[in-house]
Copies of this chain bind each other. A is one copy, B any other.
Amino acid sequence: MSNPIRIVHIGLGPLGRMLGPYLTEKDHLRVVAAVDVDPEKAGLNLGAAYNLERRLDVAIEGSLDAEMMENADVAVVTTVSDLRALLPTLERVIDGGLSVISTCEELAYPWDAEPELARRVDDLARANRVSVLGTGVNPGFLMDFLPVATTAVCRIVDSILIERIQDASRRRLPFRRKIGAGLSVEAFQERVRSRQIRHVGLTQSMQMVASRLGWRLDRTEDIVEPVVARTEVRGKDWSVQAGRATGVNQTGRGFVDDREVLTLVFRATVGETQPRDRIRVIGTPAVDLAIAGGVNGDVATCSIVSNAIPVIHRAPPGLRTMVDVAPISAF
């Protein structure tokens, strides 16, 4: 085994802390520095932030510095979903000579939504001979990489239907809250308007798929709706009355010449009886691929990010996407 890949971990919010054990349990990875803007976290031992039972030889810093970057290879950035908000950090670490893996949803495929920013990040990464990837389970894997890779066996692809249907019944309260379970339809709609209920990334996934299939999308839609209980739905210590929301249904649609070529359904509700991840390629041949029960999103995102590190560490320089690098795998 060669030397471990040295990681600077930026962003120790809920996802960042969940990711900690994944980054610290493999011999080929080593977290050498950690940064968070929250002053309350400054100085905290990283082992505690990661909820490990052991201390790590790293204390959380309030900001990046040059020495940190000199002694590292890759930055793992788990901060924001918004590419513009990510940009200062991104430019700083690329300039510092680090490759980057981020869970920023808008970084997963920024070439259509933010072509100038994408070009700027790509140029800077090439100039510094580093690679940059936005990834996670979704966007990054289930609704873009996996459908694209599935079409390898197809002679012709007419359209693709992708479903990610999750049962939130056994998830913890914060997840049930996040999907609006139990809200009245009016309260749900209000949270949609204020963007509190919204999964970021369907459009990025559609654009990523289209880029590899040679489709020029004329139009995309991204619609968020409540799923309304017809009868009362009961869990262990909660219930949702008939007429209230059991959760969220978000649909992405991509059109070429007014023909719907991409349909992405992302649904998370309490009382969902058939949770699944499913990709149906309508084409020659048709392909119907399913992952029984679906994949737990938090675990999958943490796995993908940590599994991506060796691939991005040796990828060609530039802004990469999940569909233009070698497949990520467990290692």
Q: A residues near B, CB below 8 A? A: 22, 137, 141, 145-146, 148-149, 151-157, 212-214, 283-285, 287-293, 295-296, 299-300, 302-304, 306-308, 316, 323-331
Q: Complex formed: what's the CA distance from A153 to B148 in Å? A: 16
Q: Inside 8 A of A153's CB, which chain B residues have their CB? A: 137, 141, 295, 299-300, 303-304
Q: Inside 8 A of A288's CB, which chain B residues have their CB? A: 291-293
Nearest B-chain residue to A209, judged by Cβ: B329
Interface of A, helix, strand, loop or mixed by DSSP: mixed
Q: Inside 8 A of A152's CB, which chain B residues have their CB? A: 141, 145, 300, 303-304, 307-308, 327-330
Q: Complex formed: what's the CA distance from A302 to B285 in Å? A: 12
A213 touches B331 (CB 8 A): yes
12 contacts between A and B (CB under 8 A): A149-B149, A149-B328, A152-B300, A152-B307, A152-B329, A153-B295, A157-B330, A212-B327, A213-B331, A285-B299, A287-B295, A289-B291
Smallest distance from the beta carbon of A326 to chain B beta carbons, Å? 5
Q: Inside 8 A of A295's CB, which chain B residues have their CB? A: 153, 285, 287
Nearest B-chain residue to A211, judged by Cβ: B329
The 5 A-B pairs of least Cβ separation, nearest first, read: A153-B300, A151-B330, A149-B327, A152-B328, A288-B292
Smallest distance from the beta carbon of A142 to chain B beta carbons, Å? 8
Q: Inside 8 A of A293's CB, which chain B residues have their CB? A: 288
A329 touches B291 (CB 8 A): no
Q: Which of B22, B292, B316, B324 contacts A290 (CB 8 A)?
A: B292
Q: Which one of A141, A289, A327 has the greatest number of beta carbons of chain B within 10 Å?
A: A327
Q: Complex formed: what's the CA distance from A289 to B142 in Å? A: 12
Q: Complex formed: what's the CA distance from A224 to B288 in Å? A: 29
Q: If A295-B153, A299-B155, A299-B285 touch, does A326 touch B326 (CB 8 Å cutoff)? A: yes
